[in-house]
Chain A
Amino acid sequence: DAGVIQSPRHEVTEMGQEVTLRCKPISGHDYLFWYRQTMMRGLELLIYFNNNVPIDDSGMPEDRFSAKMPNASFSTLKIQPSEPRDSAVYFCASSSAVDTWGEQYFGPGTRLTVT
């Protein structure tokens, strides 16, 4: 079975540009999570969805960040406008409510560099 798929794997952009990160969760999973990983702050949860509905976006740093999940097999994380401090690895993860403790399975991540 395919795991969580993220694209692009690497993104280099200039400050002020719009960036869109994409995620396809594991088929049948009903939870989707977006994380950001930096050396300074470690792994941070940005937002998560249950059955395509955003449940908690308290980790989204500011209004420049937005996330959508138009259907069960696709989600986007958008940054507009991007800033150098947004440089990080962004992970998408999915899980199933069927699993007792809902272990999360991560995608390979998108390494974002904003210059």
Chain B
Amino acid sequence: AQKITQTQPGMFVQEKEAVTLDCTYDTSDPSYGLFWYKQPSSGEMIFLIYQGSYDQQNATEGRYSLNFQKARKSANLVISASQLGDSAMYFCAMREGGTDKLIFGTGTRLQVFP
């Protein structure tokens, strides 16, 4: 079974609008971390935000926030006030408490248009 599922292969959003990128995960470990990475067309992987399973509040980093719904096992990335430079692939990843490994989803390609 897939541990990380990103069901949206591609998303479009207009500049200055907010967009939500979906991520669901599967684990029986009560301790885990969830991460989002951005990969622009230049190829580098950029760490954006993370959420620990025991964190009470949703993580935020500037225009990025993580909508963490533990009961639903979802960790959606919300980008507010989209910019043209946000156009990229976005990957959700999970690290279970007992390991050092990150498991990545298949990614969502976001395109921001003027």
Contact = CB atoms under 8 A, between A and B. Distances in A.
A48 B45 contact: no
Given A101-B33, A101-B52, A101-B95, A106 B47 contact: yes
Contacts of A33: 102
A2 B90 CA distance: 23
B50 A111 contact: no
A89 interface: yes
Contact of B43 (A89, A100, A101): A89
A111 B43 contact: yes
A14 interface: no
For the side of the interface on B, what is the size category? 10 to 19
Contact of B100 (A50, A91, A108): A50
Contact of B91 (A31, A43, A95): A43
Contact of A109 (B43, B47, B101, B102): B43
Interface of B is mostly: strand
Given A42-B107, A43-B91, A102 B100 contact: yes
Interface string B39-57: 0000111110010100000
For the side of the interface on A, what is the size category? 20 to 34
A72 B9 CA distance: 38
Contacts of A103: 35, 47, 50
Contacts of A89: 43
A18 interface: no
Nearest to B101: A45
A31 B43 contact: no
Which of A43, A89, A109 has the largest count of B CB atoms less than 10 A from its CB? A43
Interface string B102-113: 101011000000
Interface of B: 33, 35, 37, 43-47, 50, 52, 91, 95, 100-102, 104, 106-107
15 contacts: A33-B102, A43-B91, A45-B101, A45-B102, A50-B100, A55-B100, A89-B43, A101-B95, A102-B33, A103-B35, A103-B47, A104-B47, A105-B47, A106-B44, A107-B44
